[in-house]
């Protein structure tokens, strides 16, 4: 993300013990913290940093750091995204309330204080519903519940909602709606949208957590592109985002209505970054750094004539005994440009099922939209994974 190291640049990093090696090449000081959710503990460390060097900019590359970053900027009077904006882009209750107030549609939702409220609120909103933490990323601790009968069965499984309760944040319950889902990845500079990439998910992430999850960049000549772009601009204005990267989830319903899902002040995860690099020849991480440090350079995109996308092939917990090889995947179609492998045979895997739990992340380029369906069919026919 940092293209060149200026001699006057002094970098301090707050991170957990297990991540400190990621920053040792760029950081002058690394401060260990158990969790960024403890804002007072973060403040104590920042006071120590201030005593070493004046802080000019705070960068929060992960979603977990956005709220702490906003708090510190407000507390110490540092320019950038302040606490109120950080809260409205991390807390889905505040987020959805503010965009509703600006006339932007969301699914109907309510705050959920405990599971005893689910039956009455579910009847009020109408089933099916989704339960999830108000603060959290991806599809972690997110549950789709088709009916009150299914909820009663799920509630009796004492382990099912344990991690949701342990997150110690408010909960949210909202209508589940049948949708096409899009993610919009942009750069904001001086409150203006200076770059936007719009992608369509192959399937909504909640539907494909244990299957093939991916997306492709929507060509700008598609009729829905400008509608989605206009909606993103309204969201940025409603939430008063001054600068930084954004990752916005938008839905299109069966009745062609556009609905806001959520927003995060970070670049998209999984295969999004590399796909945008392939499509437009820019690094959204570099541009995010530039706008955060007020060193923004004009964006000059170079559009790939093909349609770029990515797909994550699912992994399994347990000892990985066998799976489709990278070599055989490359042989399926010459539109497959690159494959990242995240685990090896013999690895013992024990991870939470989520929208980023993949054995492979595969990047592709196709000439036409209908070529994507053909590629996914080939992958379904060829891919297997065995764990014991």
As a whole number of angstroms, the distance between CA 364 and CA 375 comes to 9
Confidence grade of residue 141 (pLDDT, cut at 50, 70, 90): confident
* Residue that wins the pLDDT comparison between 386 and 167: 386
Question: Could you tell me the sign of the dihedral formed by the alpha carbons of 165, 169, 170, 175, in that order?
Answer: negative
pLDDT of residue 51: 87
Q: Are 385 and 359 in contact (CB under 8 A)?
A: yes
Q: Is pTM beyond 0.85 here? A: yes
pLDDT of residue 6: 58
Model confidence pLDDT, tens digit, residues 352-362 = 877 789 999 99
Q: Are 312 and 205 in contact (CB under 8 A)?
A: no
CA 274 distance to own-chain centroid: 14
> DSSP class of residue 266?
S
pLDDT of residue 2: 52
As a whole number of angstroms, the distance between CA 272 and CA 270 comes to 6
As a whole number of angstroms, the distance between CA 12 and CA 45 comes to 10
How many CB atoms neighbour CB 80 within 10 A? 23
When the pLDDT of each residue in the chain is averaged and rounded to a whole number, the result is 92
As a whole number of angstroms, the distance between CA 256 and CA 223 comes to 12
As a whole number of angstroms, the distance between CA 352 and CA 166 comes to 15
Instruction: Give the tokens for residue 66.
Output: 């956005």
Average pLDDT over residues 72-94: 95
Q: For residue 22, give Cα distances in angstroms to 16, 271, 358.
A: 11, 20, 21
SS3 383: coil
Backbone angles phi, psi at 236, to 5 degrees: -60, -40
Sheet bearing 348-349, strands edge to edge: 348-349, 318-323, 385-387
SS3 315: coil
Give residues with Cβ within 8 angstroms of 374, minimum separation 6. Answer: 333
Does position 80 have pLDDT exceeding 90, yes or no? yes
Alpha-carbon Rg for the chain in angstroms: 21
* Residue that wins the pLDDT comparison between 128 and 356: 128
Range from 59-68, 159-168, 358-367 that averages highest in pLDDT: 358-367
As a whole number of angstroms, the distance between CA 356 and CA 351 comes to 10
As a whole number of angstroms, the distance between CA 22 and CA 267 comes to 18
> DSSP class of residue 21?
G
Q: Which position has the token pair 């990047």?
A: 363
Q: What is the DSSP string of 31-90?
A: EE-S-TT-HHHHHHHHHHHHHHS--------SGGGHHHHHHHHHHHT-SSS-HHHHHHTT
Question: Could you tell me the sign of the dihedral formed by the alpha carbons of 334, 340, 342, 344, in that order?
Answer: positive
Model confidence pLDDT, tens digit, residues 4-40 = 545 678 899 999 999 999 998 889 999 999 999 899 9
pLDDT of residue 138: 67
CA 182, 341, 284: angle at the middle one, nearest 5? 45
State the DSSP H helix or E strand holding residue 251, giving kind and residue range, or none if neither: strand 244-253
Q: Are 228 and 198 in contact (CB under 8 A)?
A: yes
Model confidence pLDDT, tens digit, residues 201-211 = 999 988 877 78
As a whole number of angstroms, the distance between CA 41 and CA 35 comes to 9
Q: Are 339 and 325 in contact (CB under 8 A)?
A: no
Model confidence pLDDT, tens digit, residues 310-319 = 999 999 999 9
Q: Are 274 and 216 in contact (CB under 8 A)?
A: no
Average pLDDT over residues 100-122: 94
Strand partners, 340: 361
Model confidence pLDDT, tens digit, residues 305-356 = 999 999 999 999 999 999 999 999 999 999 999 999 999 999 999 988 777 8
């Amino acid at each position: 993300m940092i293209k060149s190291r200026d001699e006057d640049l002094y970098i301090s990093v707050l991170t957990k013990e297990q991540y400190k090696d990621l920053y040792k090449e760029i950081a002058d000081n690394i401060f260990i913290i158990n969790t960024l959710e403890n804002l007072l503990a973060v403040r104590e460390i920042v006071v120590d940093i201030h005593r070493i060097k004046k802080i000019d900019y705070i960068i929060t590359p992960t979603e977990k750091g956005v709220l702490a970053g906003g708090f510190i900027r407000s507390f110490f009077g540092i320019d950038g995204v302040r606490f109120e904006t950080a809260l409205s882009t991390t807390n889905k209750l505040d987020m959805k309330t503010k965009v509703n107030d600006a006339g932007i549609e969301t699914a109907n939702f309510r705050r959920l204080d405990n599971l005893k409220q689910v039956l009455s609120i579910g009847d009020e909103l109408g089933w099916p519903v989704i339960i999830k933490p108000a603060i959290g990323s991806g599809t972690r601790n997110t549950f789709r519940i088709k009916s009150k009968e299914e909820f009663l069965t799920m509630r009796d499984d004492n382990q099912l909602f344990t991690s949701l309760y342990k997150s110690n944040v408010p909960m949210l319950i909202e209508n589940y709606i049948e949708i096409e889902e899009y993610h919009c990845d942009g750069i904001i500079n001086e409150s203006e949208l200076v770059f936007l990439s719009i992608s369509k998910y192959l399937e909504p992430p909640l539907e494909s957590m244990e299957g093939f999850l991916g997306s492709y960049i929507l060509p700008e000549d598609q009729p829905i592109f400008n509608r989605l772009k206009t909606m993103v601009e309204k969201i940025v204005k409603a939430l008063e985002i001054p600068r930084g990267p954004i990752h916005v989830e938008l839905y299109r319903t069966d009745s062609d209505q556009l609905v806001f899902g959520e927003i995060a002040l970070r670049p998209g995860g999984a295969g999004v970054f590399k796909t945008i690099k392939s499509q437009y020849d820019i690094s959204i991480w570099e541009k995010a750094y530039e706008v955060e440090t007020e060193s923004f350079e004009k964006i000059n995109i170079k559009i790939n004539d093909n349609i770029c996308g990515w797909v994550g092939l699912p992994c399994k917990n347990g000892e990985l005994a066998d799976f489709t090889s990278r070599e055989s995947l490359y042989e399926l179609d010459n539109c497959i440009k690159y494959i990242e492998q995240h685990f090896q045979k013999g690895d013992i895997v024990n991870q939470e099922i989520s929208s980023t739990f993949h054995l492979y992340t595969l990047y592709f380029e196709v000439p036409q939209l209908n070529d994507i369906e053909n590629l996914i069919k080939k992958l379904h026919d060829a891919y297997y994974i065995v764990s014991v």
